[in-house]
Structure 1
């Protein structure tokens, strides 16, 4: 088997995904930052309205657009690329919060490699900030929906362990090497 080329790290908001991506980047791995956070930053800078606390559907549609561009750019990168969330996360949120079907958002494609890592809810590290304003209970509900969505789409889900960021990065890299 060959090493996966596009690996999604998804799961609970505030579960340590971005910190893990930072560690993978520190180890000279190709990473793609979370599209939702980039959209929020861009919308705030532009004075836009596509923000989760202002217009959730417009926000999620913009995240879908950015995630699609990320996939197109990552196709040119040699070796594995690690995504902090992505297209499926946005489509799952659009389904859960706005009632838009996954088929309508994703079509029939499976845009990433078959292996996905999920960060489970971790109350000890969860915190709110300017871009993450929802509660831990909302984050847990989001996680449950993402877990079910990835599994329903046929992805092989691996849960990230509750451990240090260096151990999590080791776990991810060792797991993809075995695939």
Structure 2
């Protein structure tokens, strides 16, 4: 899974991995925002954050189940850890360990660090850089507490980042 700081280059990296022929699962949050906006729904992070996070958990579980159908690497843009940890912080509901230990990703989790030079808000990312940094630190702690090996993505070009991820997973990038 690739997680970390909002605006840290995760989606761009995943687009490159997809271009190289790997399966990629788009971020649940962005898909939920698109669906809710299209139907006039309220499960939006700026309207009903708890409802949004419950939907993100459901979607991440469905994404994990669907990924089992693929051969080779499947890269997730955020996922269950992100949604469950945010819900636990928001509501105090002890969901993180229960859900995330039953539904694990690969033991190595790649985290995009805060990168102010590329950070930008948009229609779906309305929070500022300070909130994104806090989110990064929270996700780092949550991922470590769940026993994931955390690999911080270097602040390098997208192509070099993709090479870094694939090499870290033991893939010979000369053949990719």
TM-score (norm 1): 0.92
Shift of 1:113: 1.0
The residue aligned with 1:40 is 33
Say yes or no: does 1:126 pair with 2:119. yes
The question of whether the paired residues in 2 share the 8 Å contact of 1:91 and 1:105 is answered with: no
Shift of 1:24: 0.3
- Spell out structure 1 runs of 4+ moving beyond 4 A: none
The residue aligned with 2:18 is 25
Equivalenced residue count is: 171
Shift of 1:102: 3.2
SS at match of 1:116: strand
- The 5 Å alignment of 1:47-126 reads 47-103=40-96, 106=99, 108-126=101-119
Shift of 1:108: 3.6
2-side partners of 1:136 and 1:31: how far apart? 26
TM-score (norm 2): 0.94
2-side partners of 1:102 and 1:13: how far apart? 22
What is the RMSD of the two structures over their aligned residues, measured on CA atoms? Answer: 1.3
**CA, structure 1 residues 170+104, in 2 after alignment: closer, same or farther (shift >3 Å)?**
closer
**CA, structure 1 residues 105+94, in 2 after alignment: closer, same or farther (shift >3 Å)?**
farther
Of 151, 161, 167, the residue aligned with 1:168 is 161
SS at match of 2:126: coil
2-side partners of 1:155 and 1:104: how far apart? 12
SS at match of 1:13: coil
The question of whether the paired residues in 1 share the 8 Å contact of 2:57 and 2:80 is answered with: yes
The residue aligned with 2:174 is none
Unaligned runs of 5+ in 2: 172-176
Q: Deviation digits for residues 9-59 of structure 1, max 9, x if unmatched? A: 000000000000000001111110000000000000010000000000000
The residue aligned with 1:159 is 152
SS at match of 2:123: coil
